[in-house]
Amino acid sequence: MLKILKKTIAVVLIGFGLGTLMVLLLPITWWLFIIGVIVIAVGILWLSS
């Protein structure tokens, strides 16, 4: 059960990060872009652990 929850949170983080990047590529603001990249990286790390 905990493993399923962990993977779900990771997928949500990756999706949120990708969505953030897609929206923010229209007006380019670098600090928001970096936050999106960090969220995706955290999601991938969480998924791989």
Of 22, 42, 44, 43, give the one whose Cα is nearest residue 33. 22
The per-residue pLDDT of the chain, averaged, comes to 75
Tell me, rounded to whole angstroms, the distance of Cα 23 from its chain centroid.
13
pLDDT at residue 28 greater than cutoff 70: no
| Cα separation, 20 vs 31, whole angstroms | 12
% of the chain at pLDDT higher than 70: 82
pLDDT at residue 22 greater than cutoff 80: no
Per DSSP (E only), the strands in the chain are: none
